[in-house]
Structure 1
Amino acid sequence: MKKAVYILLLAVLTSAGGFAQKINWVTFQEALELQKKTPKKIMMDVYTNWCGPCKMLDRNTFQNKEVADYVNAHYYAVKFNGEGNESVNYKDKTFSNPRYNPANANRRNSAHQLASYFQISAYPTIVFIDEKGELIFPLRGYKTPAQLELYLKMFKEDDHKNIKTQEEFNAYYKAFKSEFEG
């Protein structure tokens, strides 16, 4: 009987997000369609299968409850393989990976045309896109929940539009008070 209660409790906690929160990931095409009905910014995680920091970002940052809750409330979240073979329609153009080699699916492969379009040269890169589908900023590298929080909130509130110089960004950064743990 104790074992059954423990298993039931474990199932309830897991499904309720007691251990890890889930971000509601959609495809880039789905996010662009959703924006037409309910405008929200897009946060696109551009990753590769072979990238260690990409896996750390998934495990340490995107599983954080505060990050997941904030992203789910304020963004359409997209996972995009920067070296994958998916075809994507964006800005009246089809982007693909014509040099994709299936034999290299879990190793370095050729860059997807969309990754090149967004000038991604390192993985992971989190691409922020506004409500009209325009690029805001590609944020390179692994970020902790607290480091990502700054950008999530700055872009959500459009504070970046008032920052014109490195000095202004530095002042914004210094004044920012993180609320996320981790």
Structure 2
Amino acid sequence: MQTLKPALLFAWIIVFSCGQRPLETNDKTQWMTLQQVSDSLRKQKKPVLIDLYTDWCGWCKVMDKKTYANKKVGAYLNDKFYTAKVDAETKSAITWKGRTYTFNQNYRTNDFAVYLTKGQLSYPTTVIIPVDGEPQAIPGYLTPPELELLVKYFGEGQDAKIGFEEYQKKFKASW
């Protein structure tokens, strides 16, 4: 009986120590609300990335799983951008930079989505708002390497220095 107790204790230690998961860092893209983005912009300027999606969009879901959940994408976006997800079809009012956008019956979408895409609605759409710049809408599903080119152009401030075509020719992908 005496030898059984240490064996049980050892088994108990093994079971419970194996059940403990190591602390994980969350490298997925960390999403903010538009209000949090606005508040953060008042403190520190960074480009903004908006994932414009709809609930019914299959490619939006794929982009969430394969692109925004990618560790390299998440780490870069979390460091260099303020990121927000916006449901293009929300019926809730959206306030951005002092203006309120409401649901538009004609487009069956929120006017904020119309503003961001200049009326060229497509889902998913990645919208990048450079520091002190206008929204740049990039329609369609983007893989991590495709997104890398775009976010590094704006994230490294190259948009203020050289044209996109020149940057694209020199760009070396690493994702």
**What's the TM-score, normalizing by structure 2?**
0.82
Partner residue, 1:150? 149
Find 1:32's aligned residue among 25, 31, 38.
Answer: 38
Stretches of structure 1 lacking an aligned partner (at least 5 in a row): 101-108
Alignment root-mean-square deviation, CA: 2.1
Deviation of 1:85 after TM superposition, in Å, equals 1.9
Partner residue, 2:20? 8
Distance 1:98-1:140 versus aligned 2 partners, 3 A rule: closer
After superposition, residues 28-177 of structure 1 pair within 5 angstroms as 28-99=34-105, 110-118=108-116, 119=118, 120-132=120-132, 134-161=133-160, 162-163=162-163, 169=165, 171-177=166-172
Runs of 4+ residues over 6 Å off in structure 1: none
Per-residue displacement from partner, 1:57-80 (whole Å, max 9, x unpaired)?
A: 100011111110100101001000
Code of the residue aligned with 2:69 in structure 1: it is Q
Which deviates further from its counterpart, 28-37 or 53-62?
Answer: 28-37
Deviation of 1:5 after TM superposition, in Å, equals 2.5
* 2:29–2:77 CA contact under 8 A, matched in 1: yes
Code of the residue aligned with 2:25 in structure 1: it is A
| Number of aligned positions between the proteins | 160
Q: Percent identity?
A: 30
Deviation of 1:98 after TM superposition, in Å, equals 5.0
Larger radius of gyration: 2
Q: Any idea what SS the aligned residue of 2:45 has?
A: coil
